[in-house]
């Protein structure tokens, strides 16, 4: 398949629908000790033995810190409308209250280069790289970090204003809170049920505190927040309540306070002894209006009650899986979007801010045949189209990821990129999935002339 096939009546063909690619700072930049940057919790976590596969780290990663200009040129060559990136908090505020102009300059040149090439810029303020100096004071377990995040949002938005087209406060607070502070699988590696829920509340409070700051400083930009969501299905008819609870804890817990001004009752009741202190007015802050919701979708889960009445997920061994072990299930994206639309009623516009597949990809004779990823993206574009036809307002789709990069606790063994990266030489090679994306977007551009 040399291009993705979109139905002739698809809104995805219109020039108003935004196609893009996405990255994040710690995963691609490198240059961890350059340009005034100080350590993040991921720099520390990577140096803790046994935490990251192969002892990998982001010190160099894709060396985007030095190769950014050629990378922007490569992004532009794909024909996308927008580039979604994140800003590294420790590059902007390397010490508490100290603004680093070199950090602002680094991102400004990227933003300017994107705009010069006609691409919009979607900036995430927090994609998990908390400054280590804040973690030393408790990190997201410390309520003060919510206010520090608002101060960081003030610095960035005051400097860039409307030059940033779309602001995102948080990327996947579920991962930051639960993998970072509940299960210990991500930085900072803390394990504790109460800690996970406390971190989640402080993350959402930080989002709410930042929203009016962003609106004040960038009144013409678009502002929102990004959630990862994994729709759950019951293993048998008797397991529907298990599937419902999985959704409640894994993403309603984060979306409900923003769109409904409350946390889901099912989670409050089941986790009653682990609930954080929620002060009067917190939910009013968190539920500040948003212009859009970003949804990151990769796979589904299948849930059941085990013999002890506990909820567990069941791997679907008969299904096709990606290299990371996640089931390929495009229908889940349609179902998820329709469910969200039903649950929240007057839902803000949605962007699919991440969608992609990990592969065991190899560059052979200058080519990377990532046939599974090509099928994966095709299926998920069709799933988005089906959701739109079912009445969901979806305004854009961002492939995860632009290029292979540091995949958190998996290090460099999982390749999510549409572009292959040789980490020894930093050579970039467009995979078949990138070429299919490029050809689809070129065809769409011709149609819309």
What positions carry a catalytic annotation? 172, 354
Find out whether 400 is annotated in a ligand binding site: yes
Token pair listed for 210: 């930042």
Torsion of CA 187, 191, 197, 201, to 10 degrees: -30
Q: For 356, list phi and psi in degrees, rounded to 5.
A: 180, 180
Q: Label the pairing between strands 232-234 and 222-228.
A: unpaired
Find out whether 108 is annotated in a ligand binding site: no
End-to-end CA distance of the chain: 24
Find out whether 407 is annotated in a ligand binding site: yes
Q: Which long-range contacts (CB under 8 A, 24 or more apart) does 143-146 make?
A: 143/202, 143/205, 145/202, 145/206, 146/202, 146/203, 146/205, 146/206, 146/209
Find out whether 253 is annotated in a ligand binding site: no
Residue 385 and residue 10 in contact, taking contact as beta carbons nearer than 8 Å: yes
Concatenated DSSP letters for 69-132? Answer: HHHHHHHHHTT-SEEEEE--HHHH-SBTTB--HHHHHHHHHHHHHHHHTT-EEEEEEESS--BH
3-state helix, strand, coil in the chain (%, to 5): 45, 20, 40
Find out whether 127 is annotated in a ligand binding site: yes
Find out whether 382 is annotated in a ligand binding site: no
Give the closest residue to 126 by CA, choosing from 166, 178, 90: 90
Dihedral sign, CA of 92, 95, 98, 100?
Answer: negative
Q: Give every CB contact of residue 435 below 8 A, 6+ residues apart in sequence.
A: 2
Q: Where is the binding site for substrate, in residues?
A: 27, 127, 171, 298, 400, 407-408
Q: Where is the binding site, in residues?
A: 27, 127, 171, 298, 400, 407-408
């Amino acid at each position: 398949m040399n291009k993705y096939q979109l139905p002739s009546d698809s809104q995805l063909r219109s020039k108003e629908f935004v196609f893009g690619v996405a990255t994040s700072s710690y995963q691609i930049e490198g240059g961890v000790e350059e340009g005034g940057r100080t350590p993040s919790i991921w720099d520390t976590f990577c140096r803790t033995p046994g935490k990251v596969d192969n002892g990998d780290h982001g010190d160099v990663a894709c060396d985007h810190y030095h190769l950014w200009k050629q990378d922007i040129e490569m992004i532009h060559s794909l024909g996308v409308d927008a580039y979604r990136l994140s800003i590294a908090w420790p590059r902007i505020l390397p010490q508490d209250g100290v603004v680093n102009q070199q950090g602002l300059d680094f991102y400004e040149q990227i933003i300017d280069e994107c705009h010069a090439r006609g691409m919009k810029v979607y900036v995430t303020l927090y994609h998990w790289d908390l400054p280590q100096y804040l973690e030393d004071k408790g990190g997201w377990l410390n309520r003060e970090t919510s206010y520090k995040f608002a101060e960081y949002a003030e610095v960035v938005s005051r400097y860039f204003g409307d030059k940033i087209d779309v602001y995102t406060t948080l990327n996947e607070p579920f991962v930051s809170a639960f993998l970072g502070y509940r299960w210990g699988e991500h930085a900072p590696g803390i394990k504790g049920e109460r800690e996970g829920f406390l971190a989640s509340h402080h993350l959402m409070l930080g989002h709410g505190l930042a929203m009016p700051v962003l609106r004040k400083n960038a009144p013409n930009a678009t502002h929102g927040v990004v959630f990862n969501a994994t729709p759950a299905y019951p293993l048998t008819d008797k397991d529907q309540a298990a599937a419902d609870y999985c959704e409640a804890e894994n993403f309603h817990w984060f979306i409900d306070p923003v769109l409904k001004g409350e946390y889901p009752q099912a989670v409050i009741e089941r986790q009653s002894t682990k609930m954080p202190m929620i002060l009067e007015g917190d939910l009013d802050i968190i539920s500040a209006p948003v212009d859009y919701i970003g949804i990151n979708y990769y796979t589904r889960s299948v849930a059941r009650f085990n013999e002890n009445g506990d909820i567990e997920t069941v791997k679907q061994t008969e299904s096709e899986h990606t290299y990371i072990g996640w089931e390929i299930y495009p229908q889940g994206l349609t179902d998820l979007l329709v469910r969200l639309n039903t649950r929240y009623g007057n839902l803000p516009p949605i962007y699919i801010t991440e969608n992609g597949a990990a592969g065991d990809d190899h560059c052979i004779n200058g080519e990377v045949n990532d046939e599974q990823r090509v099928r994966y993206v095709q299926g998920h574009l069709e799933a988005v189209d089906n959701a739109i036809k079912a009445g969901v307002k979806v305004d854009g789709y961002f492939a995860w990821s632009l290029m292979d990069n540091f995949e958190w606790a998996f290090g460099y063994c999982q390749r999510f990129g549409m572009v292959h990266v040789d980490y020894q030489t930093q050579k970039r090679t467009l995979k078949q999935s990138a070429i299919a994306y490029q050809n689809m977007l070129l065809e769409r551009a011709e149609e819309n002339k």
